[in-house]
Chains A and B, each alone.
Chain A
Amino acid sequence: SEDFVGHQVLRISVADEAQVQKVTELEELEHLQLDFWRGPAQPGSPIDVRVPFPSIQAVKVFLEAHGIEYTIMIEDVQSLLDEEREQMFAFQAR
């Protein structure tokens, strides 16, 4: 099963169209393996993106270099998945 240890989900806040375009550029960089949970839309509309561990540093540097604000929505995707799986198994065990 695919493992998401160290993957983070960033919530990106874009202030204007230029910043939306910058984030869209990121989307095209296939080697970063980004998974947009909420894609780039319009200024004011949050963008959520899952970033694999190897790409985190590069993405954060890129966003900060362009003055694009972000917060970490999910610190570690795998830990949420583990919780979800435990909950399912607990139910099945019962």
Chain B
Amino acid sequence: AASTDTFNYATYHTLEEIYGFMDLLVAEHPQLVSKLQIGNTYEGRPIYVLKFSTGGNNRPAIWIDTGIHSREWVTQASGVWFAKKITQDYGQDPAFTSILDNMDIFLEIVTNPDGFAFTHSKNRLWRKTRSITAGSSCVGVDPNRNWDAGFGLAGASSNPCSETYHGKFANSEVEVKSIVDFVKNHGNIKAFISIHSYSQLLLYPYGYTTESAADQAELDQLAESAVKALSSLYGTKFKYGSIIKAIYRASGGTIDWTYNQGIKYSYTFELRDTGRYGFLLPASQIIPTAQETWLALQTIMEHTLNHPY
């Protein structure tokens, strides 16, 4: 695309096209957007995070990531749309402008680049990383079971051939370790939102234990407001709740770790659909999905801004 205005948000893109989009966006908005490299993947690809900032030093921040499970293509596509939306709304939408005037936003669009490249080249339904496990012919670790939160407990598999294989040790996957190091070094992230698909859920900790999160009441209330905002656009119905109650036991998960780091507003989205296409959501649904999700994200971001801790 010649610019982010001519970029086609209503189709799926390759890793190269998405990385090219990032460079276009940075070039068009050098005062607002910068591209950080937080590491390299197992196969040596750069891992990029877009930073949206209007100044200040190490401001309180909001983290959003998409595509940690590579086959969930509507999430990376939504991440691209979010990036453009941020540059469009800043200075136009008063509520959003207030968020960016006081907080930074970090957006990691392709959180599992090796897996994503593999879905384009060899296996569209690949979910995990592409790391080699010594002693096994099976490849990859589930990057949403590899975090140091209940790592290795029930709710993940120790079988390298399983789709929910947790890896040999916590943070064994460089795609995970890169985020862990970034979050720890930054030290001022106040909301962490990891976006998956599908099944239309908004989830908060915990997944590895039935114990309620200390802020369960507030997280539940905010989730209710967020799904209401989401549903207001196209009527898409979301359920919400803790991971273990809303779906099943899952250990070593992203937001359990971020919550245990003290990031109170830790959420996972499971975007469309309800059970017609699954991971193969038609590209015609990318923009509506991103638009409705953005309303929920804004609800969480506004709450974070208005409830400093």
Contact = CB atoms under 8 A, between A and B. Distances in A.
A88 B275 contact: no
A66 interface: no
Interface residues of B, number: 24
A69 interface: no
Contacts of B161: 30
Nearest to B121: A1
Interface string B207-226: 00000000000000000000
B248 A84 contact: no
A9 interface: yes
Dominant secondary structure of chain B at its interface with chain A: loop
Given A30-B161, A41-B247, A41-B248, A84 B275 contact: no
Nearest to A39: B248
A69 to B, nearest CB: 14
A38 B199 contact: yes
B278 A81 contact: no
B247 to A, nearest CB: 5
A42 B12 contact: no
Contacts of B125: 2, 4, 35, 50, 77
A50 B278 CA distance: 10
Nearest to B239: A45
Interface residues of A, number: 28
A53 interface: no
A9 B278 contact: yes
Interface string A23-67: 000000010000111111110011010100000000000000000
Nearest to A11: B275
B162 to A, nearest CB: 9
B11 A45 contact: no
B123 A2 contact: yes
Contacts of A35: 125, 163
A57 to B, nearest CB: 21
Given A1-B123, A2-B123, A74-B280, 13 more contacts: A1-B122, A2-B122, A2-B125, A35-B125, A36-B163, A37-B279, A39-B248, A50-B125, A73-B278, A74-B277, A77-B125, A81-B124, A88-B11
Interface of B: 8, 11-13, 121-125, 161, 163-164, 198-199, 247-248, 275-280, 282-283
9 contacts: A2-B123, A2-B125, A38-B199, A39-B247, A46-B275, A74-B280, A80-B277, A81-B280, A87-B11
In the A-B complex, the 9 residue pairs with the closest CB atoms = A2-B123, A41-B248, A91-B11, A80-B280, A41-B247, A37-B278, A87-B283, A1-B122, A81-B124
